[in-house]
Structure 1
Amino acid sequence: MSVKFVRGELLDADLHEESVNDLIEHYRDMRFHLANENYVEAGAHVGNFCENLANIIRAETGEGVDPYIGVGNFLDSILNGNFPKNGLDYEVYTTIPRTMRVAYDLRNNRDSVHVNLEVEVNHSDTQTAVRLCTWMLAEMLRVYSDEDHLDNVAEIIEQLAAPMTPYIDSYNGNRLVMHRELGLQEELLVHLYALGTEVAAEKLTEWIVGSNGHSVKSNLGSMKKSRQVHYDDGKAKITPLGVEKAEEIVEEYFNGAIPDMERRNKQMAN
């Protein structure tokens, strides 16, 4: 998905700028955390996404944004017809809020927010909530896009509708990139990007199918020279230049939606 295109189309429609920008960033974050099996974090971003989408719609009704918006209260009001329709499409005034209700309920009914509930957060619930957010974003794009961009819009919506496959799968401490066509350096960058922290070359060797210690260390040395990684004392960590390359790889091979590195690292540290 071209995040720049989606953001641009929504902003060109004069939707509330701050809410649109935050909506896109939380969407990217939820997909990242889902792909890395961080279901609690993904669920939190589902909630933030819904808050910003609620404010976008609220502003379009003519009621303005509410910095302390409660999604549940907003949904009760709009679905009961308490906000002016202000010429809004049925999809925006009714269908998207109905969908938002399901996504937000999924997020709230598991411990993606409240950690002591009896029912654990799981992949199925989180993936469903993220998919609902994807549908809502695609619908907003369809309603508010420029007519001159219909071909691009159709392509982007098709990408949004594509199955979401995590680009790294974890099992018993092992991590496996979910693509067979990456070169060794590409796979190293994807692992390092997803982790965001330093990791031993030996561990990377265990994770990469068909690799050996010599080739992994040799490639990390080359990547250090190109300033894509820090590599000292047998441990590697991705650099900002490496992040740029990793984002290109994930975008190309995994239809990736990449969050801001600094913000994502803060989330992962919590």
Structure 2
Amino acid sequence: MRDPLIEEFEQALDEYRAADWEKVGLKAGKFCEIAYCICAGHATGSYAATPSKPVNFPQACRDLEQHNGTKGRSLCMQVPKILAALYELRNNRAIGHVSAEVSPNHMDAEVFLRGMKWVMGELVRNYSQLALTDSHAVVEAVTARTFHMVWSSGDMRRVLEPAKTAGQKVLILLYAEGKQVAVAQLQAWVEYKNGTDFKRKVLRDLHKRAWIHFDEKASTAQILPTGQAYVEKSGLLVVGQ
């Protein structure tokens, strides 16, 4: 179950960098289910071939406490309690805050990210067969501070890696927005001076690749599913790439 756990964790990091707070919650829920299965395998001594969702997640986490005397408190009590808390937050707060004056989605995403990092650190600490100094380095790398790729303030957006090309910035911004954006707004976010060149050299090229839909008549742009897949798989949301 290591590979699917790491995959969900890394995807949650990508969504966080893209400032897609609700998707961080979705990934956190799947992460919790897989991490629970690992804890259950540790507690019972029998690991499932594939991860699965318990019928009653909070109760399943509490049931692991009975093994703490022989299997230790970390993976039988402490980690399951964190997983149960994250799962509760995911199911009852992470989606649907349209009417709220101040959306808690960003705050929730911060909790999800730090909770997942702490759980990952505990799993490394309990399962690592590396030398002590190497294990410590892995834990430090996992729990290092992460910043999201897109800064937002009111109607303003900015990609926090200036070295990205204009096309890459457009993809990142449209990925983060997840909806149509006016070309003039997008040009301002990318800080591209020449509007004609922005449409001709950047947007038309991305449209031709079928990564975005550039509606020249309406003067809007929106990312396509193929563009979303490219952003997620190309490492565009990873700092330094």
Q: TM-score with structure 2 length normalisation?
A: 0.70
Between the aligned partners of 2:178 and 2:41, the Cα distance in structure 1 is 37
- Tell me the residue number matched to 2:185: 203
Q: Which moved more, 1:158-167 or 1:26-35?
A: 26-35
1:213 to 195, 203, 213: 195
**Alignment map for 1:101-180 (pairs within 5 Å):** 101-107=84-90, 111-112=93-94, 121-147=104-130, 151=134, 154-180=136-162
CA RMSD of superposed structures (Å): 4.0
Between the aligned partners of 1:242 and 1:45, the Cα distance in structure 2 is 16
| 1:243 counterpart letter in structure 2 | Y
Check the 8 A contact 1:44/1:107 in 2, yes or no: yes
- Tell me the residue number matched to 1:253: 240
Q: Deviations over 1:245-270 (max 9, x none)?
A: 9733322438xxxxxxxxxxxxxxxx
- Using the TM superposition, give the Cα deviation of residue 167 of structure 1 relative to its aligned residue in structure 2, in angstroms: 0.9
Q: Classify 1:211/1:56 alpha carbon distance in 2 versus 1 (closer, same or farther; 3 Å).
A: farther
Between the aligned partners of 2:171 and 2:22, the Cα distance in structure 1 is 25
2:60 to 58, 74, 81: 74
Q: Secondary structure at the match of 1:43?
A: helix
- Using the TM superposition, give the Cα deviation of residue 54 of structure 1 relative to its aligned residue in structure 2, in angstroms: 1.1
Q: Deviations over 1:40-63 (max 9, x none)?
A: 443343233222211121122236
Check the 8 A contact 1:30/1:42 in 2, yes or no: yes
Q: Classify 1:147/1:211 alpha carbon distance in 2 versus 1 (closer, same or farther; 3 Å).
A: same
Check the 8 A contact 2:20/2:176 in 1, yes or no: no
Q: Secondary structure at the match of 1:185?
A: helix
Q: Classify 1:166/1:38 alpha carbon distance in 2 versus 1 (closer, same or farther; 3 Å).
A: same
Q: Classify 1:233/1:100 alpha carbon distance in 2 versus 1 (closer, same or farther; 3 Å).
A: closer
Instruction: Provide structure 2 residue ranges, at least 5 long, that are not aligned to the other structure.
Output: none
Count of residues in Structure 1 that have an aligned counterpart in Structure 2: 230
| 2:126 counterpart letter in structure 1 | V
Q: Percent identity?
A: 20
| 1:133 counterpart letter in structure 2 | M
Between the aligned partners of 1:92 and 1:45, the Cα distance in structure 2 is 21
- Tell me the residue number matched to 2:42: 60
2:77 to 75, 94, 103: 94
